[in-house]
Structure 1
Amino acid sequence: MSRLNAPEYGDVPAHVRNTLDKVGMQFGFVPNMFATLASNPAVLDVVMTLQGSLARVLDARTRHTIALAVSEANGCDYCLAVHSYVSSELGGMSSDDIDLARAGSSIDPKRAAVARFAQQVVESRGRVSDADLAAVRGAGYTDPQILAIVTVAVQALLTNFINNVNQTDIDIPAASPVGTQG
Structure 2
Amino acid sequence: MKESIMPRFSQLTPASAVGASRDLLGELVERHGTVGDMVATMAHSPAVLGGYLQLSKAMRRAKLDRKVSELVSIAVQTQQGCGMCLRSHIDAARSLGLSENEISRAQQSTSHDPSIAAMIQLGTRVYREPASITDAQVEELRGFGYSDREIADVVGVVALNVLTGAFNLVAGLTPGD
- TM-score, length basis structure 1: 0.78
1:63 aligned onto 2:72 = no
Asked if structure 2 preserves the Cα contact closer than 8 Å seen for 1:64 and 1:83, the reply is yes
- Which runs of 5 or more residues in structure 1 are unaligned? 173-182
* 1:85 corresponds to: 91
Q: Aligned equivalents of 1:23 and 1:34: distance in 2?
A: 12
- Which runs of 5 or more residues in structure 2 are unaligned? 1-5
* 1:10 corresponds to: 15
* 1:51 corresponds to: 56
Q: Aligned equivalents of 2:76 and 2:30: distance in 1?
A: 27
SS in 2 for 1:11: coil
Two-structure CA RMSD over aligned residues (Å): 2.4
* 1:179 corresponds to: none
* 2:80 corresponds to: 74
Question: How many residues end up aligned between the 2 structures?
Answer: 167
Q: 1:21 to 1:68 in 2, by over 3 A?
A: farther
* 1:116 corresponds to: 121
* 2:173 corresponds to: 168
C-alpha displacement at 1:108, in angstroms?
A: 3.7
Q: Aligned equivalents of 2:30 and 2:165: distance in 1?
A: 23
* 1:37 corresponds to: 42
- TM-score, length basis structure 2: 0.80
SS in 2 for 1:152: helix
Q: 1:34 to 1:73 in 2, by over 3 A?
A: same
* 1:148 corresponds to: 153
Asked if structure 2 preserves the Cα contact closer than 8 Å seen for 1:31 and 1:171, the reply is no
Asked if structure 1 preserves the Cα contact closer than 8 Å seen for 2:14 and 2:23, the reply is no
C-alpha displacement at 1:20, in angstroms?
A: 4.3
Asked if structure 2 preserves the Cα contact closer than 8 Å seen for 1:32 and 1:171, the reply is no
Asked if structure 2 preserves the Cα contact closer than 8 Å seen for 1:65 and 1:98, the reply is yes
